[in-house]
Structure 1
Amino acid sequence: MKTKNLLLMFAILFIASISSCATDDFQETIGVCPVVQATSPINGATGVSFNPIITVTFNEEMDAATINQSSFTITGTGQVAGSITYSGTTASFTPTIALSPNTTYTGRVSTASKDVMGNALQEDYVWTFKTGIAPTVTTTDPINNAIGVNLNKIITADFSIAMDPLTLNATTFIVRQGTVVIPGIVAYSGTTASFTPSIPLTPGTIYTATITTGARNTAGIALANNYVWNFTTVSPAVITTVPTAATGLFFGVFGGNAGITNQGLNTVINGNIGTTAASTLVTGFHDGTTGDVYTETPLNKGLVNGRIHTAPPTPGSATSEAIATQGLADANAAYISISPAQKPGGTDPGAGELGNLVLPPGIYKSAGATFKISLGDLTLDAKGDPNAVWIFQTAAGLTVGIAGPTGAKNVNLVNGAQAKNVFWYVGSSAVINGAGGGVMTGTIIASAGVTFSTPGNAVQTVLNGRAISLVASVTMVNTTINVPAN
């Protein structure tokens, strides 16, 4: 009997060595049976994406023919259609359509699954997982169909759940004007994505913002659909005519009651200059019409291709003083006519910085009391309208250019824009290209003085316009001023 039992045991072991899995007389499993070692998603997983590839990994190589639609199933509210592949020790189930959100699914690998030796799973392997909830855009700023949006607006979108920052970028957060994509910088913090335009928006224009389905939450779940909204920027300030008093300005340079100073050998004024001060406070010039000299030195000689009008003594006169007095009245009237009180509604498209902007006609008022042109040139685009007008208002200073030999900045005119239609209302003083060089444009009317370049700069600074100071002097170094025809 012992010999018989030993022979039976050896037979069982021999079979087990061939087939990997067998049972003895007591229905106990011996050898190696196929089992599921891992799944993806894991059992009990939540927040699963809607387009997962569901995998089952076995402890040994399986017979691929037994891993099929019948033995590997996924069910939710019903059985999920999908394709099955097998490689190595892993079976993969790819759903034909996206899974439903916030739904529990059951994966099942049945005992019909067998290894390459024909051994089956000893029991069905069953696990569950739950899909997540699709993120949504909850609020936007500006809201949909908003009007009167600022030209320097940072556009934002808030999400219902934390998002993957890497999926929020220039390809998934897009702002367009018509079909034109607006350049900008996309950032993400908390649950908010922001779009900062690289250029100011255009007044009175409809823009469309889109968050695409490329935006995903931290679980990899995308928006169900593109989120699209529209907004309209603030209407452009309407200017029907050029300020009346400004069109009648007689002077290209006016030094209030304080005088005008030239410090250079290459200053040329193509127009008239004047001050209500005595002639002795005009220095470094000669009158190109009469030949009269106003305190020139070997290093400070400037030509006025027009007339110089001052109070006495000679070469000033009572007649010239009267002309200068009327010029001051015109300048004050022009100053008031382009003030915020008379021309309200100005916007600040660059938060005080006008460099690198391209601006349509309109009124622009500095929110912080100063304007500067330091990051690059300012371009004024008339869009084909030769009567287009620009008014820039600052309660304090205007600074054009930065320090250094290449610090000069320009105000450029395009598409029909004219220098005679550009006006600068300056509450205190204006400093134009202190490092020398550059082309400034427009009529500058400053309360407390205008300065062009600084002593020692040989490179020519140009103003196509007028430099008017109401209560202080105008100072220039190697400057050309071309007074536009009215």
Structure 2
Amino acid sequence: MKTKILMAAIFLGAIVLFAGCKKDDFVEITGVCPIVVSTIPANGATSVPLAQVITVKFNEEMDPSSITSASFFIRSTAVLTGTYSYNDSTATFTPGSPLTANTTYTGTVTTDARDLNGNYLQTDYVWSFSTGTTLAPMVTTTDPADLETGVVLNKTVEANFNMPMNAATINTTTFTLMDGVTNIPGVVTYSGTTAFYNPNADLTPNTEYTATITTGAENPAGDPIPADYVWTFTTGTLVAPTVISTDPANLDIDVPLNQIITADFSETMNGATIDATSFTVSNGVVNIPGIISYAGVTATFTPTDLLLSGTTYTATITNAAENLAGTTLVSDYVWTFNTIATTGPVLPDLNTVADFGIIAGVGVSNNAGFSVINDMNVGISPGVRSSITGFPPAIVVNGAIYASDDLTPVGVAAMLIQAKQDLTDAYLFAEGASSPAPATVSGDIGGMTLAPGIYKSTSTLLIQSGDLTLDAQGDANAGWIFQVASDFTTVGGAGGNVILTGGAQAKNVYWQVGSSATIGDFTSFKGNVLALTSITMNSGATAEGRMLARNGAVVMTSTNIINKP
């Protein structure tokens, strides 16, 4: 029994270790996916001797029986003939006749090459060299490959070159697709080192097609490919699934930082193939973590964290995604988008006064009712303990009440002086904030929705005719500074509340008030009030924030609640 359990564990472990190598025949012992580590001649080599023997070195021992003319070949205008040998992780091709002078050759090691564990090369390895002094442009690989069968009917035909080409020379004259003698209408595009032929309509089932890249295709120096490159393929009967739309769309800008990324397919997919391997989102450095789900015809990627501000992201649906019949995407679907750049201001640093939900100069009072300050302290300076009234019934939860004349704990007076100084510094910082440029507001800002930024009123300011909404647009670090030259008043009831949306946080909202602030009856308020004179919370008003008065009093009228932001 122990032996059976041990063998099962070894077998399962081997499956996990080898899950990353495609086309594996078996998983008997630990191994790695093979790769090509070097070639002779090297990629891009010129003036190669005509008697050159071509070698390919792998990162591990390969199965010699897999090194054949199907898995390793050299071509110029045609594939060369020769002999093959293998020794000590190196495959060798000896051409049957000398190479031709002043000719560019392309070497290819295909995914038919496998190691001793049955693990195959993951992608074709292609390189070029020349017996002349320069490399000529050449077609190195195509998709579909030459003589490929069962090609899907909505296939976009691709040809890859060994160097960048002059895009102006890649067109419907130099890249053609034929059904016998009939030209197939389509659109030709070029990107990177790849030319694309996208037929206007689906191809005909079970039909042989001929694709051609002519010598009219040139590199930027004006050098043409040495001869027409011609290949054929045969269609099957299937139409491959496609991605028909995404959110965000390709090249979208100002994408919110809390964006959920989705891709819609042309048909129902096998949900088991929509996973972290087939659906990725990268910030240009690493793939970001997220939760992937699939429903209907839509794949959804929900990032674990907010996206970064002002960043380009690349989303990819790979051809590992399959429909219910097991047909994969023709090729990876890739799109990019840019997130919104945060434009909010640098916020004041409260330093030690951040520990206080209320701090005042001359008095702190709770006039009636059961008021509560949660998770913060209450303080007064230079006022004294006798100027703090209404506690109880008001209470402080997970905090304490400090006055400048307290004898204990030792150092209370100095601590309060420092807190008041930190309040003054934060007040002056908020008052002088100027980047980004402040937007002018006046009168009643109720009913507005404001993006992160600095908002300046040269007189009084009201929130009266409706709720004020602060929209962070998905940026949890977004901030607001309101610079109010005189009094600031909210009017509770039907309007006058402060609403946070789009990831906005109360701790990042600052109200610098040049005189006194009044939080109206039953107002739900958000943010830190930094008032020069006094602050009054009317009956039933609640705040997620702080009430910090430099010189005057803080008054809770009746049954008020202040929660730590």
Shared fold per TM-score greater than 0.5? no
TM-score, normalised to structure 1, is 0.43
Between structure 1 and structure 2, the one with the greater Rg is: 1
**Bigger relative CO (Cα 8 Å, ≥ 6 apart):** 1
TM-score, normalised to structure 2, is 0.37
